Amino acid sequence: MLKIRKSMMSLVVIGMTVSGAAGVYAGSNMQKITAYLNHSIGLKVNGTTYTPTDSNGKQLAPITYQNTTYLPVRALADVLKVPVQYDSKTGQVLIGTSQSGGTTTPQVSVSVTEVKYSKEQIKEMTKAFANFEHFETAYAPQQMIKGDTYLKTGASEDGVTLRFNHMTVNVSPRDYSDGYESKPVTLSNGTQAKWYTPDKTPMLGFKVDDRIVTIRSEDHSLSKAQIEKIAVSVAKLK
């Protein structure tokens, strides 16, 4: 078994599958090779067996080429909670932090921005939560990924759903992860959460006060690290 340590993420040479990098395939620097999907190699992350998957939940296998093993950057970055991005302008994979002028800034932090709800939007959310007895207080994320947009809020029998362009946030008295295999994680604020995939879209579920919050990115544009960053901002609407 191959045990991956966090420090190894600095070795960009292991990478291969980064979301958003599709445009690089048209470049003139591509070289055709013959490689093998190596299903005999297992992975352990911090002592725990780990199976990498893509954004659709499809299992990924290491690739072996000329006695070198290549691993999927995006999947490893998510499980190690290391930000990863692809810069199409420079053709570079950006892993971890970047340094500019001596200041180190995490890539994920740069992409998060405050959500500024209008009075009408807050009124819409408040009305949706008011449908539930003992559950009337409105909750919503205070941050979103830069470039995302809040769309609308709706209520159902099970809870309230807030829709953005690139994510959906559900607030409910129910825990929808029951019956599904889940992976526990600890958010940056100490909250215990869990990832589970009932269909093709991974969901992050966690408790805030007396309710369960579930966040997912149905278009798969948000990484797990980004969703976890947003999760800690979910709070009562002011």
- Residues 163-205: tens digit of each pLDDT: 999 999 999 988 888 888 999 999 989 999 999 998 889 999 9
pLDDT at 106 (0 to 100): 40
- List phi, psi (to 5°) of 24: -70, -20
- Report the residue count for the chain: 238
Q: At the top level of CATH, which class does the domain 112-236 belong to?
A: alpha beta
Every domain of the chain and the residues it spans: 36-95, 112-236
pLDDT at 135 (0 to 100): 80
Q: How many CB atoms lie within 10 A of CB 61?
A: 15
- Residues 13-58: tens digit of each pLDDT: 444 444 444 444 445 567 788 888 888 888 777 777 878 887 666 7
Between 218 and 46, residue with greater pLDDT: 218
- Residues 123-145: tens digit of each pLDDT: 999 999 998 877 889 999 999 99
- HSE on the CB side for 177, CA within 13 Å? 20
Among the listed residues 227, 221, 186, the one whose alpha carbon sits nearest the alpha carbon of residue 203: 227
- HSE on the CB side for 68, CA within 13 Å? 8
- Residues 71-91: tens digit of each pLDDT: 887 777 777 767 777 666 666
How far, in whole angstroms, is CA 198 from its chain's centroid?
16
Could you give the residue ranges of the DSSP H alpha helices within the chain? Answer: 73-80, 107-110, 119-129, 224-231
d(Cα 181, Cα 13) in Å, to the nearest integer? 32
pLDDT at 232 (0 to 100): 94
- Token pair recorded at residue 172: 């409910």
- List phi, psi (to 5°) of 125: -65, -45
Contacts of 157 (CB under 8 A, 6+ apart): none
pTM: 0.57
Stretch 98-114: mean pLDDT: 49
